[in-house]
Amino acid sequence: QEKVQQSPESLIVPEGAMVSLNCSFSDSASQSIWWYQQHPGKGPKALISIFSNGNKKEGRLTVYLNRASLHVSLHIKDSQPSDSAVYLCAVSTINTGNYKYVFGAGTRLKVIA
Amino acid sequence: GPKVLQIPSHQIIDMGQMVTLNCDPVSNHLYFYWYKQILGQQMEFLVNFYNGKVMEKSKLFKDQFSVERPDGSYFTLKIQPTALEDSAVYFCASSSDWGSYEQYFGPGTRLTVL
């Protein structure tokens, strides 16, 4: 059974800071890892995904994946108050040909103007 | 972007009653999912559904739970009878394909069982 752990639990940063969020998973055969953003009272919204070792950059977001250490991180450059939300790491897993997400508990980010 | 709708947004019912949660997935999507999130806790997978069949379900998907999508209408989650521990936010998601494709989530239905 895949386990997904996120750290830190919460984070408060000033506007403009670089934010780093971490996610560890247990199954090296996991498929893609997704990062979702969830605002209060809303459903999660996909931000970025990664499958291969290395990094991927989209706008202010960069994600790093290291399958050997079972670790993925999300970095948000030049953070804005509108980035304040819960960030969820979702690991896509396969079981007998069926796919599902296993979610971490999330990191609550607050960006102060 | 593509939107998933969920109806109702909030439902309050007495323990033992039946409840049906409705999901209107992205129009050309074929793969559907339900997740459960108790307040302050992790989002947890309940079930995935394709071509009229449940493909996989978790231990949280008790015998009292059922899903269907009759004739391309709403994708529904029915709980009969409900229990106090069913109180949670239920999120529906859909994707265009299997595998590592993005899942699009609805805003959730908050279910309160009294």
Residue B44, pLDDT score? 94
Residue B112, pLDDT score? 98
Residue of A nearest to B10 (CA): A41
Contacts of B68 (CB under 8 A, 6+ apart): B52, B75, B76, B78
Residue A94, pLDDT score? 77
Kindly write down the DSSP assignment for every residue of B10-61, as one continuous string.
EEEE-TT--EEEEEE--TT--EEEEEEE-TTS-EEEEEEEETTEEEEE-TTS
Residue B105, pLDDT score? 96
CA proximity to A87, closest of A4, A21, A25, A16: A21
Kindly give the parts of chain A with pLDDT less than 70: none
Which residue has tokens 């209060």? A40
Tokens of B59: 């231990």
Kindly give the parts of chain B with pLDDT less than 70: none
pLDDT tens track for B84-110 = 999 999 999 999 987 778 899 999 999
Residue A20, pLDDT score? 98
Q: Residue A105: its chain B contacts at CB < 8 A?
A: 41-42
Nearest to A31 among B56, B100, B103 (CB): B100
Q: Residue B4: its chain A contacts at CB < 8 A?
A: 43
pLDDT tens track for A3-35 = 899 999 999 999 999 999 999 999 877 778 999
